[in-house]
Amino acid sequence: MLWPRLAKNLFGRPLTDPAPPVPDQVVQALVERLEAAAQQRLGHSLSIREVDTGSCNGCELEINALSNVVHDLERFGLRFVASPRHADVLLVTGPLGRNMRAALERVWECTPDPKWVVAVGDCAVDGGVFKGSYAVEGGIAEALPVDLVIPGCPPTPTQLLEGLLALLEAQALPRATPFWRRDED
C-alpha cells in the first residue's frame, strides 16, 4: 500500500545527504568572472540546461543522480529546465563532437544573458580519450567560453554538487552565508 508508506515517510528522517564542502578558491575564481549585474539578476538560484555534445552517457547518469532523493539538487535552488531559453547555466558533457557543434552554438544563442558554461567530465575539458579523432574538435572551450570545469570520468554527483554550489556561492557572496554553510561558522 502506498499511502501508509507516504505517511510514515512524513515522520521519518530524510534520506538526503548533507551538502558537500565547497573550495573557497573555486568560489573566488568564479566571483572574478561574474559581473556585479549578474549577481543582482540571477539571485540565489540557478536554472540549468544540460547539453550532451557526444558523451558516452556516463556523465548523464551521474547528472541524473543529482536529482535523486539522496542528492536532492533542488534544495539548493538548482534545477534542470527543459529549454535553454529558461536557463542560466549550460551544463555541457562530452567531447565537442563535430556533429553537435552547430546545435551547441544554437543552444548558446538561445540562452539569455547573463549565462554560465560548465564543462562536465574529462571529455568536455579537452576531448578526453576521444581527443584527436576526425569527429571530435576537442573540449567545449573550442566552441564556448567555459566558466567552470568539473573533471572526472564521470564526475561523481558529489563532485558535480561541489562545482554547482561554488557557482551559487560566487553569485551569493555579498549576501549572508547560505544555509548549507551555516554549520561551519
- Applying CB under 8 A, what is the total number of residues that bind other proteins? 50
* Contact string (CB under 8 A) for other proteins, positions 139-178, x = contact: --------------xx-x----------------------
Among 130, 144, 162, 163, binds other proteins (CB under 8 A): 130
Question: Smaller CB distance to other proteins: residue 45 or 156?
Answer: 156
Radius of gyration of the chain (CA): 17
Piece of the chain touching other proteins by CB under 8 A; list 25-33, 34-42, 81-89, 138-146 = 81-89
Binding flags for other proteins, 98-127, as an x/- string (CB under 8 A): xxxxxx---x--------------------
Q: Rounded to a whole number, what is the largest CA-CA distance in the chain?
A: 57
Pseudo-torsion of CA 85, 94, 24, 165, nearest 10°?
40
Query: Does residue number 1 form part of the binding site for other proteins (CB under 8 A)?
Result: yes
| Binder of other proteins out of 19, 26, 42, 84 (CB under 8 A) | 84
Kindly provide the residue ranges of all beta strands, DSSP E only, lying in the chain, ordered along the sequence: 46-52, 78-80, 89-93, 116-120, 148-150
Least CB distance to other proteins at residue 77 (A): 18
For other proteins, the binding residue among 41, 129, 177, 179 (CB under 8 A) is 129
Helices (H), 34-155: 36-42, 58-65, 101-110, 122-126
> For other proteins, what does the binding mask look like between residues 23 and 62, x meaning CB under 8 A?
---------------------------xxxxxxxxxxxxx
Full DSSP string of 122-149 = HHHHH-GGGTT-TTB--SGGGTS---EE
Instruction: Say if residues 115 and 89 touch (Cβ distance below 8 Å).
Output: yes
CA atoms in the 13 A half-sphere facing the CB of 173: 19
Binding region for other proteins (CB under 8 A) = 1-2, 5-6, 15, 50-65, 67-71, 80, 82-84, 94-95, 97-103, 107, 129-130, 132-136, 153-154, 156
